[in-house]
Amino acid sequence: MHEPDWIQPRRIDSIDDCYFYHTMDIPNHGVVQGEWDLRGRETLYLGNVSVVGKRVLEIGTASGHLCFAMEKMGATVVAYDLSPDQDWDIVPYFGLDYEQHIQERKERIHKLNNGFWFAHGANGSRARVRYGTVYDIPGNMGPFDICTLGSILLHLRDPFLALQRVTANVRESVIVTDLLPVRRGKALDRFKKLIGFQQKPEAHSIYFLPNADRCAPNETWWSLSPGVIAEFLQILGFNRITVTYHQQSMQGQKYQMYTVVGRRGML
């Protein structure tokens, strides 16, 4: 199998050409502000999985904060993400003109890629990078010991297919982190009581979020419970499941999150 077409590192001189999804401490620059601040809570975000000496595929590296954190923990990381050349899974509401939205999204992804390379250079990172969609993972990048997906599946039209494609070349563990679903209100609780619903909403729930009347959201498809993620992973051969819960900070607010870790092997 031939060597993958790795993206050649870019030199980004101006931070004004960058967008940061994560708040990060960048060597010789200082703190840059992003939407999510995972600093000091990376181990919780990763489900307390040791990455020492592991080859890790990080899906959706964004600004690279977790990529560089895992390198410092002792991992060899391959960062995989979209570039402006790939399409985002946008909800196709009938009658809406997405041309401007798509162009703005491509410009933002370009600046996000720049932010990664700015931090990659400043951190002296050795992480390799490949751009593409989760539905078309090049097999020659692997194998990997561990794969991580941080707040990715809720943005995908087909989260199970993505997991299937991503994990095909993973030998040990998959780490999926996402927002903990909120309860859907008293009306839903009364309805479930009326029909004799016994299962907790968090257990195996999957909610389709796009709403035709509001034409929103346009980039988030699902609210996925940890139970659904666990079932997905077990179907794909990751039979040993652990679930942990933690808080992470986005724009100054605390959000409840979960991390499901699926490990290959017998129960």
pLDDT at 199: 39
What is the CA angle 200-202-203, rounded to 5? 70
The confidence band for 233, taking pLDDT boundaries of 50, 70 and 90, is very high
pLDDT at 191: 37
**Average confidence (pLDDT) over 22-51:** 96
Alpha carbon distances (Å) from 185 to 29, 136, 191, 256: 45, 38, 10, 17
Q: Give the model confidence (pLDDT) of 169-205 as tens digits.
A: 999 999 999 999 875 444 444 434 443 433 343 467 8
Residue 113 has pLDDT above 90, yes or no: yes
pTM, full prediction: 0.91
**Average confidence (pLDDT) over 124-153:** 96
Contact between residue 64 and residue 36 where contact means Cβ atoms under 8 Å apart? no
Tokens linked to 46: 């990763």
Distance CA 267, CA 240 (A): 6
**Domains in the chain, CATH or no CATH each:** 15-263 (3.40.50.150)
pLDDT at 182: 72
Neighbours of 231 (CB within 10 A): 17
Neighbours of 34 (CB within 10 A): 20
Q: Give the model confidence (pLDDT) of 64-93 as tens digits.
A: 999 999 999 999 999 999 999 999 999 999
pLDDT at 4: 77
Q: Which of 53-57, 131-135, 169-173, 196-200 has the lowest mean pLDDT?
A: 196-200
Alpha carbon distances (Å) from 2 to 9, 22, 25, 142: 20, 34, 36, 12
